[in-house]
């Protein structure tokens, strides 16, 4: 009966929604509990609700309007108020706390889920590509479903330590992007400058990326489904000669090599590739009350790679629970996630073999049973790529369990004071098996080779902070005092055996191989741990949101440092002045925001391996002693009690501006960062040292740059909105020095490219940028078909006469994002460009030469210049301009209009990624790895670039 | 009480909350290692195992044999082994200080010296004494003297360091100083050494080894210090010969076969194994450096060998036709598989290697033919399939010093003192000649030139030829592709990397 009486109270509400000028607002959502309505073109809606229900009316660009249903609410009229400069009030994570954009004094870029492109990403890192000024995100492994992104923030600040930013996911420091679902990302905040990152001390130099994923919210239980299917097609690859071109070239230009013509026509690339299809699904269930809410997401991904057999899958379950207890004194939040990742890694060598493989050879030769029926020619580094794919079994599995709890004690008697404790445990296990059958090229005769390796990683983190925030008399203060303790432990194992009676076992019965018994198998285990402890504090103050200041100090310690330098101080200070808040600026109607910022901060880099400061011994060679072989022991490293972090000081000035009520705005930043105490491995004399190299702090590097972010809404009508944003950055890198009186390393020639090129292509020169290419200058092709180089002497250009060709780093990087909204349709497009910078074209250098043809194939592009018949000579000809413009993403989405008892709208989309690359570069892709000491060198071991087309849907229940 | 407890608790907590000591699991610190006497004795193996570098692809040994008239490395038919001219430089004597082979030759000596210093420092720091201490210390000191001898032989003045405790960079000392040091080290320690080279002393320094090293020192004294010490050389050789601890093996090949550890001729051996010495700093892999890939399978070797090192044609031509050591040292002529059947190069074409090559095959743009150039065959290749390429080394041990060398040094010391007829009558000298299928030399035949070639053929590619050629005034002459050089060629440049690490070496 009660059900009946309840339904009897349901009433039908009719209403109209208008904007501040009285014009109707179509497409506005009106929600009451599970009931839902959307306004039509005249702004009208009809909604069923009960007396006492709260109805929320929301429309993008306007403040939400909430009213309670009364007995008189049969017809309502809602007038929406445009939200005032909402962007400035957006919350920004700054590490151990949040602030708002307008109160920010450091250089922090903040991305919300709306700013991110639709499509398919191997992990959430890809969504930052082209979105943050000064942050370069590169995927050097193209279409590999197991590829990870590389990050480079504000230039290269190290020689030998890591360059990856510190990743913090929902409070877990040093987290792995692969363990979350990219669709779950709610926001990403990038702490760029020293004043912002200094709160992370010795781990702040490469920037900090703070990722917040979707979490529990109170409300009625809702179910969301997200799914997508994508296909890929080759966008660019290294193109060898076809069988026809190969035959033509040999007959006309290298008749002496006619013996290499086997009469078949094989497209080796086609033989090892396919059209990859991938799909991803996730279901999220959430809901609850203010006192108890939860969110659980299930995620399944199956991704195929271009190479036959190459796959990556992911299964994820994650639960977030939030609870409030003891009359508001205690807030507790639990996170539990389990991720299983499975993959068959690509065989990169097979792509190179498919390139060099003679196209006139057949794939199979059934008569050659010794080689498994594959057509085989025994030559070193010359393998049948089809056999490499078919005769290899590989399976990698990673499982990751993350459990954490955050308990916040609200000390209610003192307003704004709370004590927050966060305890997190992460347990990751990796297991890999690989088996090369008795017919795997290069292993024939070994009777099957099996590999098995494992890895376990534990990360235990405890953080305790005391936080206080208060506003009084125009003053707003926010303070934090904290302690953090983190221990990371890793184990690894590795086994290899061969000599199996049958390929049946694969790597599942490794003991059956004979090599172990003959003493030829390999076995390895390792364990290491590190501990990290810090004390920190920060105070943020502002007066009437006009004068802003922030100071922080961190005392940071790491077990990795030498015993004389276990602890370091990392101070930072920044100030801001919102000129637009001054009374004398209030008259400027067109100016919404003008803020000047300046900051200074010290950060460190401790991203190097454990135990580098200790003198350790390891088993060395075996020795025949008293009639038996025994182990000898030798030093494996020198003691370096002075070993410490790389120290970066950074000065940043910036300006935030916004005009015409936020229709146009942006940020401009200038920075100077100086990294001293750079780590590098130096040759040292033995004696007096124990070991021949010493890892120690010597050099310094500077990076100077300008970053500009502009955002605008050029068109905004009731049913059409165009939002656009542009990021641009320039960075200048300079290696100030990397030697001193004591440590004179002469290995300044780096970037060795093996024969037939046989040259060091880059140099470390004090006073120049890192990544500087050096080469003899190419002049012309001589009458004998050989390359003529400038400054030749006796057929050689002495290395002292080589010229600096340029640096691998671009002069300017640009990203341009557009979002056009028309009614329920949204069209987005993201372009990215890089101007300047050089890239070494390895495929041309190695394979665009008539000399290399014969047994092996060469680049088809040799036919464009048949006058060049000489031997490969390293020169400036192979160092090309890396300028490019890429169309990263185009997507069209449509907000579903169904709203009924079961379905509460949703979205369908189609997205194309990596669609176009405009560049003068003749190689595969001018966008190559920019991290490490030898950036800008395209590898011959590569994965082709693919474009991706995805179809996706989101449904809310 | 309560207060005290909470203070203690506070201190303990604070200490735990700030403890940053590193926990070590997979390597070991000195403190944890040296707990028993056995560990100390084992630690001295580090000094010895440095010797294993000798047989690797780039070592003092491979440097010396390419730097003399024995071995050359023309570019092979596949274009391999040019490698920026590093092999060529060594053979034609225009070695740059950044030459990788030169660096590795230097490292053989100085890694060895460092290892010895480290072991000796360690022993000195040991509180407790043990029975074997004096003998082990003496072994390591004499071993260090051997490394220093190699160093002054090649580089003249060298950095001198006898302990790691001196944190200053080592200073360069000239040959006269080092000569005295080596002599004192050996004579001062020889009485502690094992006299009887029993099997459990195989591969270690014994009294005989120390005397043989001393003989090498005295024999070269005139070239190194300007003062000849032929008499002293004669005496130490005589002690070895009359000790009766060593004798010539019945067959020349007994010294080079797979199981050569049974040869009575070895005085200092480097034991190698297909199982225990298999890395780029300790494997004996001459088969990889010299054999062509297509001979591996017929020889019973599961590898793709690199087809590099060849016999220098003039050296091959210098043998007496009756000298059996030529075929016992080199592979040339018809090739036979492990079962003795002749091998074909291709259908109907026999695999016949021509040891003669014109000088024109040498150089960057030249190539030798596949069937040109004798290969090193002195150490018998095991055909049981255990050689699988990469860094899997051979089981044959390498005799750094063997009795025949001592006999020839003794003969030379006598001839240099004018005691030619006494020399011609040395019984073991006659046996060496007969073992090679040759008649013993008469006193009239025993000229310095003939004695040089006798040493060259008996000890070919065993690593002593550089000092022999210098001592017999042959080193600066032109031979095959190598032009004549002036006296500055007698000393090798110090590697650039060594100078970078220690500016005192400039």
Decide: residue A843, CB within 10 A, 0-12 exposed, 13-18 middle, 19+ buried: buried
Q: Chain B closest CA to A271's CA: distance in Å?
A: 28
For residue A844, pLDDT beyond 80: yes
Range from A90-104, B187-201, B468-482 carrying the lowest mean pLDDT: A90-104
Pick from A683, A681, A676, A694: nearest CA to A735 = A676
CA A531, distance to chain mean position in Å, is 25
Average pLDDT estimate for A471-490:
93
pLDDT at A66: 84
Which of A624, A696, A758 is the best substitution to test chain B (most B C-beta atoms within 10 A)? A624
User: Which pLDDT value is given to residue A495?
Assistant: 94
- Please report where in the chains the tokens 């509400």 appear, as a residue: A13
- Does pLDDT of A887 surpass 70? yes
On chain A, the residues whose CB falls within 8 A of the CB of B304 are 378, 380
Contact between B361 and B495 (Cβ < 8 Å): no
Contact across the interface for A755 and B83, Cβ inside 8 Å: yes
The answer to which of A52-61, A423-432, A543-552 has the lowest mean pLDDT is: A52-61
Chain A residues in contact with B163 (beta carbon < 8 A): 687
Element (H, E) at A493: strand A475-498
Q: Comparing C-alpha atoms, which of A389, A404, A419 is closest to residue A329?
A: A419
Worst-scoring range by mean pLDDT, A409-423, A684-698, B180-194, B280-294? A684-698
Chain pair A-B, CB pairs under 8 angstroms:
173
A633 contacts B20? CB cut-off 8 A = no
Residues in chain A with CB shorter than 8 Å from the CB of B45 are 623, 625, 630-633
**A485–B17 CB contact, under 8 Å:** yes
Q: What was the pLDDT predicted at B12?
A: 58
What average pLDDT is seen over chain A? 90
CB A156 within 8 A of CB A166: no
At B426, the pLDDT band (50, 70, 90 cuts) reads very high
Query: Which residues of chain A have a CB within 8 Å of the CB of B20?
Result: 531, 533, 557-559, 561, 566-567
CB contact under 8 A, A558 and B20: yes
Predicted pLDDT of residue A746: 61
Residues A470 and A425 sit within 8 Å (Cβ to Cβ) = no
According to the model, what pLDDT value does residue B317 have?
Answer: 95
Residues of B in contact with A755 (CB under 8 A): 82-83
A616/B166 touch (CB, cutoff 8 Å), yes or no = no
What is the C-alpha separation between B381 and B376, in angstroms, rounded? 10
Q: What average pLDDT score do residues B153-172 get?
A: 89
Whether the CB-CB separation of A892 and A910 falls below 8 Å is answered with yes
> The whole model's pTM is what?
0.81
Among residues of chain A, what percentage have pLDDT more than 90? 65
Residue A336 or A939, more confident: A336
Q: Do A531 and B110 touch (CB under 8 A)?
A: no
B9 has pLDDT over 70: no
Q: What is the pLDDT of residues A297-316, one digit of tens each?
A: 999 999 999 999 999 999 99
Residue A633 to residue B167, Cβ atoms within 8 A: no
CA distance A888 to chain B (A): 43
In the prediction, which pLDDT does B187 show? 97
For B226-293, where are the E strands, in sequence order?
A: 266-270
**Residues from chain A contacting residue B161 (CB–CB below 8 Å):** 687-688
B386·A633 Cβ contact <8 A: no
Task: Read off the pLDDT of each residue in A553-575 and give the average, rounded to a whole number.
Answer: 94
**Omega of the bond prior to A688 within 30 degrees of 0, cis?**
yes
| Residue written as token pair 């084992």 | B42
Shortest Cα distance from B270 to chain A (angstroms)? Answer: 9
Flag whether pLDDT at A82 surpasses 60.
yes
Q: Which of A81-90, A314-323, B409-418, B430-439 has the lowest mean pLDDT?
A: A81-90
Per-residue tokens: A694: 């010493």
- A537 sits in which H/E element: strand A522-543
The pLDDT value recorded for residue A896 is 87
Tokens, residue A198: 């200094």
What pLDDT, on a 0 to 100 scale, did the predictor assign at position B127? 66
* Token pair listed for A79: 């007038």
Cα distances (Å, whole numbers) of residue A356 to A255, A365, A847, A868, A939: 19, 19, 8, 20, 15
Say yes or no for a CB contact (<8 Å) between B30 and A622: no
The more confident residue out of A590 and B177 is: B177
pLDDT value at A3 more than 70: no
Find the residue in B nearest to A616 (Cα).
B29
Nearest CA distance, B479 vs chain A (angstrom) = 24
For A566-616, write each residue's pLDDT tens digit: 999 999 999 999 999 898 888 888 888 999 999 999 999 999 999 999 988
Q: Using the beta-carbon criterion (under 8 Å), do A630 and B26 form an inter-chain contact?
A: no
Q: Which of A27-36, A210-219, A577-586, B389-398 has the lowest mean pLDDT?
A: A27-36
With CB atoms and an 8 Å threshold, state whether A615 touches B25.
no
Per-residue pLDDT at A372 exceeds 50: yes
CB contact under 8 A, B271 and A624: yes
Contact A625/B45, CB-based, under 8 Å? yes
Q: Is the pLDDT of residue A6 over 50?
A: no
The closest alpha carbon to B285, from B401, B379, B373, B204, belongs to: B379
pLDDT-derived band at A8, boundaries 50, 70, 90: very low
Candidates A377, A493, A623, partner chain B, best to mutate (most B CBs within 10 A): A623
Residues of chain A contacting B302 with CB distance shorter than 8 Å: 445-446
Q: Are B199 and A627 inside 8 Å of each other by CB?
A: yes
With beta carbons under 8 A apart, name residues in chain B contacting A625. Answer: 42, 45, 48, 203-204
Q: How far is B219 from chain A (nearest CA, A)?
A: 29
Range ranked top by mean pLDDT from A142-146, B27-31, B450-454: B450-454
**Residue A7 clears pLDDT 70, i.e. is over it:** no
Alpha helices in A9-117 (DSSP H): 86-89
Could you report the per-residue pLDDT of A339-348, keeping only the tens digit for each?
999 999 999 9
Check residue B38 and give its pLDDT. 72
| Cα B157 to Cα B178: distance, rounded to the nearest angstrom | 8
Q: Which residue has the higher pLDDT, B16 or A279?
A: A279
Nearest to A686 among B83, B110, B503 (CB): B110
Q: Which residue of A has its CA nearest to B117?
A: A687
The whole-number pLDDT of residue A768 equals: 94
pLDDT in tens, A762-813: 999 999 999 999 999 999 999 888 999 998 887 788 888 999 999 999 999 9
- On chain A, the residues whose CB falls within 8 A of the CB of B113 are 687
Domain residue spans of chain B: 1-63+84-193+476-506, 286-376
Q: Confidence band (pLDDT; 50, 70, 90) for A84?
A: low
CA–CA min distance B84, chain A (Å): 7
In order, the DSSP letters of B101-166 are: HHHHHHHHHHHHHHHHHHHHHHHHT-SS--TTHHHHHHHHHHHHHHHHHHHHHHHSSEEE-S-TT-
Cβ neighbours of B281 in A, within 8 Å: 621
CB contact under 8 A, A529 and B30: no
Nearest to A617 among B28, B84, B497 (CB): B28
| For A557, nearest residue in chain B (alpha carbons) | B20
Integer angstrom CA distances of residue B374 from A163, B258, B313, B363: 52, 21, 8, 18
Beta strands A135-138 and A150-153 are: antiparallel
Fold of B1-63+84-193+476-506: 1.25.40
- Give the best residue of B14, B19, B25, B382 to mutate against chain A (max A CB count within 10 A): B25
Q: How confident is the model at residue A4 (pLDDT cuts 50, 70, 90)?
A: very low
Contacts of B260 in chain A (CB under 8 A): none
| Predicted local distance difference test score (pLDDT) of residue A2 | 37
Mean per-residue pLDDT over chain B, rounded: 91
Q: Which candidate, A631, A448, A469, places its Cα nearest to that of A550?
A: A469
Contacts with B110 from chain A: Cβ below 8 Å: 686
What is the rounded average pLDDT of the residues A223-248? 94
* Predicted ipTM > 0.85: no
Nearest by Cα to A605 from A639, A656, A644:
A644
pLDDT of residue B5: 65
């Amino acid at each position: 009966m009660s059900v009946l009486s309840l339904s009897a109270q349901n009433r039908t509400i009719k209403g109209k929604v208008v904007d501040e000028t009285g014009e109707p607002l179509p497409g506005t959502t009106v929600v009451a509990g599970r009931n839902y309505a959307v306004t039509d073109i005249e702004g009208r809606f009809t909604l069923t609700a009960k007396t006492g229900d709260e109805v929320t009316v929301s429309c993008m660009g306007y403040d939400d309007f909430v009213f309670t249903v009364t007995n008189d609410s049969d017809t309502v009229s809602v007038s929406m108020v445009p939200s005032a400069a909402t962007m400035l009030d957006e919350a920004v994570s700054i590490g151990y706390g949040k602030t708002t954009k307008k109160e920010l004094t450091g250089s922090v870029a903040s991305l919300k889920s709306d700013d991110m492109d639709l499509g398919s990403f191997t992990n959430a890192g890809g969504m930052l590509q082209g979105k943050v000024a000064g942050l370069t995100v590169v995927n050097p492994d193209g279409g590999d479903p197991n590829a990870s992104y590389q990050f480079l923030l504000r230039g290269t600040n190290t020689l030998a330590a890591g360059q990856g930013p510190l990743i913090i996911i929902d409070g877990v420091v040093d987290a792995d992007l692969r363990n979350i679902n990219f669709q779950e990302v709610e926001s990403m905040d990038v702490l760029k400058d020293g004043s912002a990152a200094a709160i992370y001390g010795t781990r702040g130099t490469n920037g900090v990326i703070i990722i917040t994923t979707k979490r529990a919210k109170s409300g009625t239980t809702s179910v969301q489904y997200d799914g997508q299917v994508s296909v890929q097609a080759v966008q660019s690859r290294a193109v060898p000669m076809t069988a026809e071109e190969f035959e033509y070239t040999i007959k006309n230009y290298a008749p002496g090599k006619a013996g290499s013509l086997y009469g078949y026509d094989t497209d080796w690339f086609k033989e090892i590739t396919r059209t990859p299809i991938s799909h991803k699904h996730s279901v999220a269930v959430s809901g609850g009350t203010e006192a108890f809410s939860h969110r659980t997401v299930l995620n399944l991904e199956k991704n195929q790679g271009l190479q036959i057999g190459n796959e990556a899958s992911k299964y994820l379950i994650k639960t977030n629970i939030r609870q409030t207890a003891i009359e508001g004194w205690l807030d507790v939040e639990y996170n539990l996630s389990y991720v299983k990742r499975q993959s068959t890694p690509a065989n990169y060598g097979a792509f190179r073999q498919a390139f060099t493989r003679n196209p006139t050879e057949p794939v199979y030769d059934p008569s050659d049973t010794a080689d498994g029926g594959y057509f085989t020619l025994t030559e070193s580094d010359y393998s049948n790529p089809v056999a490499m794919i078919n005769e290899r079994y590989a399976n990698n599995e990673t499982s990751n369990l993350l459990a954490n709890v955050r308990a916040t004690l609200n000390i209610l008697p003192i307003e704004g004071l709370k004590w927050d404790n966060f305890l997190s445990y992460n347990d990751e296990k990796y297991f890999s098996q690989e088996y090369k059958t008795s017919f795997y090229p290069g292993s024939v005769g070994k009777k099957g080779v099996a590999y098995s390796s494992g890895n376990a990683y534990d990360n235990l983190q405890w953080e305790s902070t005391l936080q206080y925030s208060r506003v009084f008399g125009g003053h707003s203060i926010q303070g934090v005092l904290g302690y953090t303790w983190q221990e990371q432990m890793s184990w690894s194992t590795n086994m290899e055996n061969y000599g199996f009676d049958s390929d049946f076992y694969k790597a599942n019965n490794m003991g059956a191989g004979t090599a172990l018994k003959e003493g030829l198998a390999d076995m390895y285990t390792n364990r290491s741990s590190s501990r990290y402890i810090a004390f920190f504090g920060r105070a943020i103050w502002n007066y009437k949101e006009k004068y802003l200041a922030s100071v922080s100090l961190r005392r940071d310690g790491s077990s990795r440092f030498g015993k004389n330098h276990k602890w370091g101080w990392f101070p930072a200070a920044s100030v801001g002045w919102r000129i637009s808040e001054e009374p004398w600026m209030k008259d400027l109607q067109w100016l919404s925001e003008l803020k000047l910022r300046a900051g200074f901060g010290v950060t460190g880099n401790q991203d190097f391996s454990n135990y580098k400061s200790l003198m350790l011994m390891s088993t060395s060679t075996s020795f025949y002693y008293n009639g038996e072989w025994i182990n000898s022991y030798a030093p494996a490293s020198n003691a370096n009690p002075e070993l410490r972090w790389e120290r970066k000081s950074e000065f940043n000035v910036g300006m935030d501006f916004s005009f015409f009520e936020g229709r146009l705005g942006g940020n401009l930043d200038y920075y100077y960062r100086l990294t001293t105490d750079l780590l590098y491995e130096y040759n040292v004399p033995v004696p007096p040292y124990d070991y021949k190299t010493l890892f120690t702090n010597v050099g310094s590097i500077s990076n100077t740059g300008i970053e500009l972010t502009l955002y605008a809404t050029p068109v905004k009508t009731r049913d059409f909105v165009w939002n656009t944003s542009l990021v641009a950055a320039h960075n200048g890198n300079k290696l100030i020095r990397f030697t001193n009186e004591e440590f004179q390393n002469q290995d300044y020639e780096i970037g060795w490219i093996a024969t037939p090129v046989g040259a060091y292509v880059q140099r470390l020169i004090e006073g120049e940028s890192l990544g500087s290419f050096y080469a003899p200058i190419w002049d012309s092709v001589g009458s004998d078909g050989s390359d003529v180089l400038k400054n030749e002497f006796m057929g050689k250009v002495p290395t002292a006469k080589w010229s600096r060709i340029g640096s691998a780093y671009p002069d300017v990087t640009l990203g341009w994002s557009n979002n056009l909204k028309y009614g329920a349709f949204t069209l987005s497009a993201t372009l990215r460009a890089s101007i300047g910078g050089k890239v070494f074209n390895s495929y041309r250098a190695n394979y665009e030469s008539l000399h290399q043809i014969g047994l092996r194939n060469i680049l088809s592009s040799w036919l464009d210049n048949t006058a060049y018949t000489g031997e490969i000579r390293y020169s400036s000809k192979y160092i090309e301009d890396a300028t490019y413009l890429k169309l990263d993403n185009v997507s069209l989405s449509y907000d579903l209009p169904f709203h009924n008892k079961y379905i509460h709208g949703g979205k369908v989309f189609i997205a194309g990624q990596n669609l176009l690359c405009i560049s003068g570069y003749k190689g595969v892709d001018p966008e190559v790895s920019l991290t490490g000491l030898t950036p800008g060198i395209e590898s011959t071991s590569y994965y082709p670039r693919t474009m991706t087309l995805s179809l996706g849907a989101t449904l809310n229940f | 009480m309560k207060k005290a407890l909470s203070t203690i608790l506070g201190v303990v907590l604070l200490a735990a909350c700030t403890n940053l000591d590193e926990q070590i699991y997979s390597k070991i610190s000195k403190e944890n290692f040296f707990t028993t006497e056995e560990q100390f004795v084992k630690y001295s193996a580090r000094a010895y195992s440095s010797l294993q570098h000798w047989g690797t692809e780039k070592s003092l040994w491979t440097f010396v044999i390419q730097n003399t008239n024995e071995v050359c490395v023309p570019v092979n038919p596949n274009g391999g082994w040019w490698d920026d001219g590093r092999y060529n430089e060594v053979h034609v004597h225009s070695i740059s200080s950044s030459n990788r082979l030169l660096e590795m030759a230097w490292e053989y000596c100085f890694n060895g010296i460092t290892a010895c210093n480290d072991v000796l420092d360690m022993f000195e720091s040991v509180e407790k004494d043990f029975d074997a201490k004096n003998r082990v210390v003496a072994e390591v000191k004499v071993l260090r003297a051997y490394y220093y001898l190699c160093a002054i032989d090649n580089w003249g003045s060298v950095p001198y360091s006898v302990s790691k405790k001196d944190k200053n960079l080592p200073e360069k000392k000239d040959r006269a100083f080092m000569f005295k040091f080596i002599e004192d080290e050996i004579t001062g320690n020889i009485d502690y050494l094992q006299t009887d080279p029993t099997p459990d002393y195989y591969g270690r320094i014994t009294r005989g080894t120390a005397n043989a090293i001393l003989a090498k020192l005295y024999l070269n004294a005139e070239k190194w210090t300007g003062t000849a010490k032929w008499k002293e050389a004669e005496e130490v050789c005589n002690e070895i010969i009359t000790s009766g601890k060593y004798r010539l093996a019945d067959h020349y090949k007994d010294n080079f076969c797979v199981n050569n550890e049974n040869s009575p001729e070895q005085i200092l051996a480097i034991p190698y194994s297909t199982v225990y010495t298999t890395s780029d700093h300790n494997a004996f892999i001459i088969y990889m450096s010299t054999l062509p890939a297509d001979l591996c399978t017929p020889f019973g070797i599961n590898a793709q060998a690199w087809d590099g090192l060849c016999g220098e044609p003039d050296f091959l031509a210098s043998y007496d036709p009756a000298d059996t050591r030529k075929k016992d040292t080199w592979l040339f002529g018809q090739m036979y598989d492990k079962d003795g059947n002749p091998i074909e190069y291709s259908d109907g074409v026999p695999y016949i290697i021509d040891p003669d090559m014109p000088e024109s095959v040498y150089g960057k743009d030249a190539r030798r033919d596949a069937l040109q150039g004798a290969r090193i065959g002195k150490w018998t290749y095991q055909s049981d399939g255990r050689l699988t390429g990469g860094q899997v080394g051979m089981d044959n041990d390498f005799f750094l010093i063997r009795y025949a060398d001592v006999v020839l040094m003794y003969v030379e010391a006598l001839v240099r003192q004018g005691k030619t007829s006494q020399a011609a009558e040395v019984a073991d000298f006659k046996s060496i000649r007969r073992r090679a299928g040759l008649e013993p030399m008469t006193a009239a035949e025993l000229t310095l030139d003939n004695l040089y070639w006798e040493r060259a053929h008996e000890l070919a590619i065993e690593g002593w030829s550089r000092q022999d050629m210098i001592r017999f005034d042959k080193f600066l002459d032109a031979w095959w592709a190598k032009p004549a050089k002036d006296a500055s060629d007698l000393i090798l440049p110090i590697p650039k990397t060594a100078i970078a690490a220690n500016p005192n070496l400039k």
